[in-house]
Chain A
Amino acid sequence: AQSVTQPDIHITVSEGASLELRCNYSYGATPYLFWYVQSPGQGLQLLLKYFSGDTLVQGIKGFEAEFKRSQSSFNLRKPSVHWSDAAEYFCAVGITGGFKTIFGAGTRLFVKA
């Protein structure tokens, strides 16, 4: 079955520290992977996407993600977190040939001073 798992419901990091948010997917075909961020009271914003090619993709706001096919993972990283990064982060996979996107449950990021 197609699914996206984000093992961490919430994570707290100190401002300036590095960040890694985990994402594992289960999908039979070539995955089209996304990370979205949602700040309180806002819609979701695309951070980055992976379709093919280089397994390390760069996104907006200094985020990057690495696709590892052998581990079925697409983890999101940032070397130095800012207080404004506090938000909900969703990993997602696009379903080939249709309009459906499978979202993970989300990881809430808290940033402490």
Chain B
Amino acid sequence: DTEVTQTPKHLVMGMTNKKSLKCEQHMGHRAMYWYKQKAKKPPELMFVYSYEKLSINESVPSRFSPECPNSSLLNLHLHALQPEDSALYLCASSQGDGTAYSPLHFGNGTRLTVT
């Protein structure tokens, strides 16, 4: 069983819709991440929150908007997406001192399809 919970598991949305992906962890980790994974590719980093502050934004388009309401929750707000944004979106967490020392704990992802 994964200790990082993501909802929903699947999401189909039109290009004009607004939706949100949610992620929750209760391991006391202070760093939380959003990754995007296309088929047969490794995960690509999108955002990192450390101690509830945005630490990294990997030049992600503004149609993706992250939010970290508290140390256990991470959201990704989606608006006006394009079909090429269809992918598996993975949430991960780690201890707050950076991944060099702390492995990533991943959720099972949200499979997003943009029509």
Contact = CB atoms under 8 A, between A and B. Distances in A.
A49 B42 contact: no
B31 interface: yes
A43 B4 contact: yes
Interface stretch (A61-69, A76-84, A91-99): A91-99
B104 interface: yes
Interface residues of A, number: 25
B108 A43 contact: yes
B103 A49 contact: yes
A42 interface: yes
Contacts of B100: 32, 94-98
A97 B102 CA distance: 11
Interface residues of B, number: 30
A32 B42 contact: no
Given A44-B104, A90-B42, A104-B42, A98 B109 contact: no
Contacts of A44: 43, 90, 92, 104, 106
B42 A94 contact: no
Interface stretch (B48-56, B61-69, B79-87): B48-56
A33 to B, nearest CB: 10
B108 A99 contact: no
A104 B43 CA distance: 10
B55 to A, nearest CB: 6
A43 B41 contact: no
Contact of B106 (A43, A49, A97, A100): A43
Interface of A: 32, 34, 36, 41-46, 49, 51, 90, 94-101, 103-106, 108
Q: Which 9 A-B pairs have the closest CB atoms?
A: A43-B106, A103-B42, A94-B100, A94-B99, A96-B100, A99-B48, A44-B106, A32-B100, A43-B108
